[in-house]
Amino acid sequence: MPSGENSLANLKPIKPGESRNPTGRPKGPITQFLREFGDATEIEFSITITKPGKDGAVEKSRSSASISTGQQTINQAVAARLLQMAMNGDIKAIREVLNRTEGRVPHPIVVAGSRSGGGADLKGWTVEELDRYEEWQRQTQAQAESIDYEEVNDNPEE
């Protein structure tokens, strides 16, 4: 049996009550993080990268940077850049600006096969109405499948 670092022999079952990630996911959504930093006018940060070197010794490299937008918040600077990209003809930026300012364009749900021939426009229906409509379609389909058309055609006088 292989005994390498990635072999199946190294797999161990999790015991009841045991956690393989005891600290869990960081608390707070990323949106909260972005709002806090987006409201700032200046951010300073430093990064430390640790990796094994060629001779096996640990190498660390450090870098620091700062972002300053003057009197604008980071969010305002990002919005200004997005508008600038849109004004330069970037289709994705235009779409994003329009979605943010006008709202997304609703996509109508059209069900083919209605009596009017064009389908049913379900825009504006509630979830309950859609559920009832779906149930009605299932029942109608089941009834249509249960009709014995040969028997109906054998008695033309009825």
Per-residue pLDDT at 58 exceeds 80: yes
Enclosing H/E stretch for 45: strand 42-52
Lowest mean pLDDT among 31-40, 66-75, 142-151: 142-151
CA 50 – CA 59 distance, rounded (Å):
6
Does the global pTM surpass 0.85? no
Question: Residue 65 — pLDDT band, cuts 50, 70, 90?
Answer: confident
Per-residue pLDDT at 26 exceeds 70: no
The pLDDT of 20-42, averaged and rounded, is: 78
Question: What is the residue-averaged pLDDT of the chain?
Answer: 78
Cβ proximity of 73 and 39 under 8 Å: yes
Q: What is the pLDDT of residue 157?
A: 56
For residue 109, give the DSSP letter.
-
The pLDDT of 71-97, averaged and rounded, is: 91
Angle of helix 91-102 relative to helix 74-87, nearest 10 degrees, comes to 120
Helices (H), 30-90: 30-38, 74-87
CA 105 – CA 98 distance, rounded (Å):
9
CA 132 – CA 138 distance, rounded (Å):
10
Question: Residue 5 — pLDDT band, cuts 50, 70, 90?
Answer: low
Helix (H, G, I), strand (E, B) or coil at 40: coil
The pLDDT of 107-114, averaged and rounded, is: 60
CA 51 – CA 49 distance, rounded (Å):
7
Give 153 or 98, the one with higher predicted confidence: 98
